[in-house]
């Protein structure tokens, strides 16, 4: 491990643990991405995980990376087809395992990977532990929106298909913390996803979550705007949208698929006649301006929240630009001390909850949605 000229540890540089393997575009795209980041930001250094000979060759070609990379040899790769359970059993020598392990060992506070989401989540959950008081970590994503900063935070985007009212309260807190530290919003507005904005809508679990979040919002420094609808995920009514991982996962995939369909139909429409082909040439800059605004590569930094250490999931198809965006987000979160702030916030609420009669016990809620195979939440009492 290591190269002679790496001096990340000797400086005030922030070290990001980066999985070089597992993305569709291969390690060359990852190395190109971290080189872009390194060129822009002198305060960055990297722990780069993967087959060391291959990585060394790629890094040597990038002048921006001189003295900024420490290599961590890992000869195996998690593929997109690997099941999370397989990786937990036999994945010790994969680059993804090594990437997470560096965070566990305190060599970095944030990890970045473009690999298999399920495996990354499983490894993060098992190797990193949850923040004290957090029962369900969540995947938070950024979604293009009408807000001035251009994006909203939505969680859970699919880390876990279930969430009870307490989990949803924690998602609200974690999402708000992320918006503060990742997007720089001092006082984020949080909405709870439902099929309508009226208070009588939704199932019992959602109504309980409404009451919980409402009662805690003043104590945890965010505005609770109440129930919001699917249309508010790209809207400007709130900055953070809270939902369970099943609904969140379906919603963003529907939005993503619809956006891709529109893009393809647009291209088709412009190919139709010679005149429209001319128009499309003239429109190139307009399209590029739009693309920059909604480019999924720039918003691909899904983040696993609620763990001792932060894991940024970059899109599997991420190219250099996508990797660089994920690294930028990782840098911001690491620099702001996000994990520590989030841990403090969760434990404050846990303390408040112990004293509060407003905090309903889970067993009083009708129709809890946990399956028998899911361990009972520790809740915020722990």
Among 275, 363, 364, 375, binds a second copy (CB under 8 A): 275
Q: Is 272 in the site for a second copy (CB under 8 A)?
A: yes
List residues bridging with 310 in a β-sheet. 110
Among 26, 51, 67, 235, binds a second copy (CB under 8 A): 235
Q: Which of residues 49-88 bind a second copy (CB under 8 A)?
A: none
Among 66, 276, 381, 382, binds a second copy (CB under 8 A): 276
Q: Is 341 in the site for a second copy (CB under 8 A)?
A: no
Among 73, 214, 223, 229, binds a second copy (CB under 8 A): 229
- The answer to whether 339 touches 310, Cβ cutoff 8 Å, is yes
**Which region among 11-19, 66-74, 119-127, 143-151 touches a second copy (by CB under 8 A)?**
143-151
**Which region among 32-40, 105-113, 121-129, 231-239 touches a second copy (by CB under 8 A)?**
231-239
Q: Which of residues 147-186 bind a second copy (CB under 8 A)?
A: 158, 161-162
DSSP string, 305-346: ESBSSEEEE--TT--HHHHHHHHHHHHHHHHTTHHHHHHHHH
Among 54, 75, 86, 247, binds a second copy (CB under 8 A): 247
Length of the chain: 382
The bridge status of strand 44-50 relative to strand 138-144 is unpaired
Copy the structure tokens of residue 340.
Answer: 């520590």
**Which region among 14-22, 170-178, 286-294, 334-342 touches a second copy (by CB under 8 A)?**
286-294
Among 95, 243, 314, 334, binds a second copy (CB under 8 A): 243
By beta-carbon proximity to a second copy, the closer residue of 13 and 136 is 136
Question: What minimum distance in Å lies between the beta carbon of 144 and a second copy?
Answer: 6
Q: Is 360 in the site for a second copy (CB under 8 A)?
A: no
Q: Cα-atom radius of gyration of the chain, to the nearest Å?
A: 21
Q: Is 245 in the site for a second copy (CB under 8 A)?
A: yes
By beta-carbon proximity to a second copy, the closer residue of 282 and 361 is 282
By beta-carbon proximity to a second copy, the closer residue of 195 and 358 is 195
Q: Tokens 């099929």 correspond to what residue?
A: 195
CA distance 7 to 10: 5
In 3-state terms, the chain is what percent helix, strand and coil (to 5)? 50, 15, 35
Helix axes 165-182, 320-335, angle to 10 degrees: 100
Q: Is 199 in the site for a second copy (CB under 8 A)?
A: no
The bridge status of strand 310-313 relative to strand 302-305 is antiparallel
CA proximity to 180, closest of 337, 302, 314, 292: 337
CA proximity to 369, closest of 153, 205, 125, 160: 205
Question: What minimum distance in Å lies between the beta carbon of 225 and a second copy?
Answer: 16
Q: What are the two backbone dihedrals, phi and then psi, of residue 92, each rounded to the nearest 5 degrees?
A: -55, -30
Task: Please name the residue ranges forming H helices in the chain.
Answer: 26-40, 52-60, 84-90, 95-104, 117-128, 165-182, 204-217, 245-270, 274-294, 320-335, 338-355
Among 7, 11, 218, 260, binds a second copy (CB under 8 A): 260
**Which region among 95-103, 120-128, 208-216, 225-233 touches a second copy (by CB under 8 A)?**
225-233
Q: Is 256 in the site for a second copy (CB under 8 A)?
A: yes
Q: Is 257 in the site for a second copy (CB under 8 A)?
A: yes
Question: What minimum distance in Å lies between the beta carbon of 234 and a second copy?
Answer: 4
- The answer to whether 128 touches 308, Cβ cutoff 8 Å, is yes
Binding site for a second copy (CB under 8 A): 143-146, 158, 161-162, 193, 195, 201-204, 229-235, 243, 245-247, 249-262, 264-266, 268-270, 272-273, 275-276, 278-280, 282-283, 285-287, 289-290, 293-294, 366-367, 369-372
């Amino acid at each position: 491990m290591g190269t002679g000229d790496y001096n990340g540890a000797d400086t005030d540089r922030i070290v990001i643990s980066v999985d070089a393997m597992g993305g569709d575009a291969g390690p060359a795209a990852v190395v190109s991405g971290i080189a872009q980041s390194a060129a822009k930001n002198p305060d960055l250094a990297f722990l780069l995980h993967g087959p060391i000979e291959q990585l060394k060759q790629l890094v040597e070609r990038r002048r921006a990376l001189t003295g900024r990379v420490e290599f961590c040899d890992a000869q195996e790769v998690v593929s997109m087809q690997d099941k999370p359970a397989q990786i937990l059993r036999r994945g010790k020598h994969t680059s993804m395992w090594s990437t997470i392990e560096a965070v566990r060992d305190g060599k970095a506070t944030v990890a970045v990977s473009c690999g298999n989401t399920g495996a990354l989540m499983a490894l993060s959950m098992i190797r990193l532990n949850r923040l004290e008081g957090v029962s369900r970590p969540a995947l938070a994503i950024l979604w293009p929106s009408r807000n001035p900063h251009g994006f909203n935070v939505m969680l859970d985007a699919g880390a876990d298909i279930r969430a009870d009212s307490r989990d949803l309260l924690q998602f609200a807190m974690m999402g708000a913390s992320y918006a503060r530290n990742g997007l720089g919003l001092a006082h984020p507005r949080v909405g709870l996803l439902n099929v309508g904005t009226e208070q009588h809508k939704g199932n019992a679990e959602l109504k309980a979550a409404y009451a919980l979040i409402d009662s805690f919002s003043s104590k945890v420094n965010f505005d609770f705007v109440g129930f919001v609808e699917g249309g508010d995920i790209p809207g400007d009514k709130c900055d953070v949208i809270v939902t369970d991982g099943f609904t969140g996962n379906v919603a963003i995939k529907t939005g993503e698929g619809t956006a891709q369909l529109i893009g393809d139909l647009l291209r088709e429409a412009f190919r139709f006649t010679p005149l429209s082909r001319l128009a499309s040439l003239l429109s190139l800059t307009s399209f590029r301006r739009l693309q920059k605004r909604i480019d999924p590569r720039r918003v691909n930094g899904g983040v696993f929240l609620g763990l001792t250490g932060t894991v940024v999931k970059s899109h599997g198809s991420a190219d250099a630009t996508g990797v660089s965006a994920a690294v930028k987000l990782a840098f911001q979160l690491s620099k702001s001390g996000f994990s520590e702030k989030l841990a403090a916030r969760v434990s404050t609420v846990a303390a408040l909850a112990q004293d509060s009669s407003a905090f309903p016990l889970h067993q009083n809620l009708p129709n809890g949605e946990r399956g028998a195979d899911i361990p009972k939440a520790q809740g915020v009492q722990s």
